[in-house]
Amino acid sequence: MSKNQLYLVAVDGSEWGSRAADKAVGLAKHTGAEVRLVTVIPWSGFQPMTLDEIAHRPIEKQEEESAAKETVLEPVLKKHADSGVTVLGEFHWGHPVQILRDIAKKEKAAMVFVGRRGRSRIADLVLGSVANSLAHTLGVPIVLVP
């Protein structure tokens, strides 16, 4: 495999997301691929809101961005800083499945690594799992990490 390959990893602060990053970095050590960690903060402009929520939304968005960087991306980036693999991190706002699918296709990801579960088992049952949705719609090899 060439050095220009990209492994995309969905991270959400859960142990499963961390394990997905571990697997991607471990494989990238052998293939020379770049690893990109992506966290997606669910955000919809169509959610019903009160006037107070509309007034405070930008402040909350900034707080959520800071929290995503500090609690989700930075710990995983630090863990793999000395791995010898190029590991980058980014976050996006939107629907996780759609964002990850769009990035994977746009960047021509060689593989997408996703934890089998996310932060909430209840959300996985009620809303449908990001991993399950990606596995059925992605069109790129996906590694579901237990």
Q: Residue 125: what pLDDT?
A: 45
Cβ-based neighbour number of residue 19 at 10 Å:
15
Return the closest-CA partner of residue 113 out of 30, 27, 42.
27
Q: Residue 55: what pLDDT?
A: 59
SS3 112: strand
Residue 13 to residue 73: CA distance in whole angstroms? 8
Q: What is the per-residue DSSP string for 21-39?
A: HHHHHHHHHHH--EEEEEE
Tell me the helices (H) and strands (E) count for the chain, helix number first. 6, 5
Domains of the chain: 6-145 (3.40.50.620)
Burial class (CB within 10 angstroms; exposed 0-12, middle 13-18, buried 19+) of 58: exposed
Q: Residue 3: what pLDDT?
A: 52
Residue-wise pLDDT tens digits, 29-46: 999 999 999 999 876 555
